[in-house]
A = this chain, B = another copy of it.
Amino acid sequence: MALYERILITGAAGRLGSELRKGLAPLANTIRLAGRTPFSDLAEHEEQVVFDLSDMKATIAATEACDAIVHFGGAALECSWQTILNSNIRGSYHIYEGARKHGARRVIYASSVHAIGYYKLEDHISVEAPVRPDSLYGVSKNFVESLSRLYWDKFGIESACLRIFSSFPKPADRRMLWSYLSFNDCVRLTTAALTAPRISHTVTFGLSNNTVKVVDNSGANHLGYLPQDCSEPWKAEIEASTEIPDPNRSSVKYLGGWFCELDHPDDKESE
């Protein structure tokens, strides 16, 4: 007996969505994959819905009959205000409206380190620290964290907002030695959020068990997430091939890394 009847995964064609598609299979009888283009390789337990998150009607329809939603869709990097607005802000509102209208019990949302990117490494913030986004992308993550809080307090829909740090096949630079979240740990974290006895509204940091720890995740211990991976295997190689960075450079000093050094996206557009 699977825990859920049907889980909707948005962004299912993406880097993390592809991992979740595999990793969450045991949790539901049916996995419904959402993307902007069709999936050509559906397994038996899978079905698909193709739409754009900015389409309110289609998005709400896609959530029908889903008792859980894993919302990893939308823009995954800093980009123009119009894209952030349509994909991340409007799109996520549509998802939560779908959850409300169609009775989903739980939503797992891919928030990001960029929601709190302007904290320093040594600040060791808890999951309750005030937001400090480092980009429009980060602001949109804060928006959904706020929106999902409303849907819990008012409508009783549980949410976990996973502030994913750096989830890639392997750590690619010195910063990722502390910000790395392995794909398998990302699946473990999402699984924990879907199976914990009660998550109410939870914000949590998505990190593997790296040696250097820069945040305090204890406020989300009720999720029961136990990371199994860490960045150590790549440490020597990365340190040998890169310079020691200036500790006061924004990309070194702040959790958000190079996002803190990005220009405002519309500057480039408007030129």
A: residues with CB less than 8 A from B are: 1, 3, 81, 85, 89-90, 93, 97, 100, 105, 118, 120-122, 124, 128-136, 138-139, 142-143, 145-147, 149-150, 153-156, 158, 174-175, 177-178, 195-200, 202-203, 210-214, 216, 218-219, 221-224, 226, 239-240, 244-245, 247-248, 252-253, 260, 264, 266
Contacts of A136 in B (CB 8 A): 150
Q: How far, in whole Å, are A3 and B198 apart by their CA atoms in the complex?
A: 41
Query: Across the interface, do A222 and B214 meet the contact criterion of CB distance under 8 Å?
Result: yes
Contact A131 B118 (CB under 8 A): no
B122–A222 contact, CB under 8 A?
yes
* B226-A222 in contact (CB<8A): no
For A199, the chain B residues whose CB sits under 8 A away are 122, 247
Q: In the complex, which residues of chain B have a beta carbon less than 8 angstroms from the beta carbon of A175?
A: 197
A240 touches B1 (CB 8 A): yes
Residues in B whose Cβ lies below 8 Å from that of A214: 221-222
User: Which B residues are CB-close (under 8 A) to A121?
Assistant: 197-198, 200, 222
> Are B196 and A212 within 8 A (Cβ)?
yes
Q: Are A132 and B149 in contact (CB under 8 A)?
A: yes
Residue among A1, A178, A212, A219 with most chain B CB within 10 A: A212
Query: CB distance B154 to A143 under 8 Å?
Result: no
Residue of B nearest to A153 (CB): B118
Cβ-defined contact, A212 with B218, below 8 A: no
Taking a contact as CB atoms under 8 Å apart, the answer to whether A150 and B156 are in contact is: no
Question: Which residues of chain B come closer than 8 Å to A222, judged between CB atoms?
Answer: 121-122, 124, 178, 212-214
| A–B pairs, 15, beta carbons within 8 Å | A1-B240, A85-B89, A121-B198, A124-B219, A124-B221, A131-B149, A132-B149, A138-B146, A139-B143, A139-B150, A178-B224, A197-B212, A200-B247, A212-B224, A214-B222
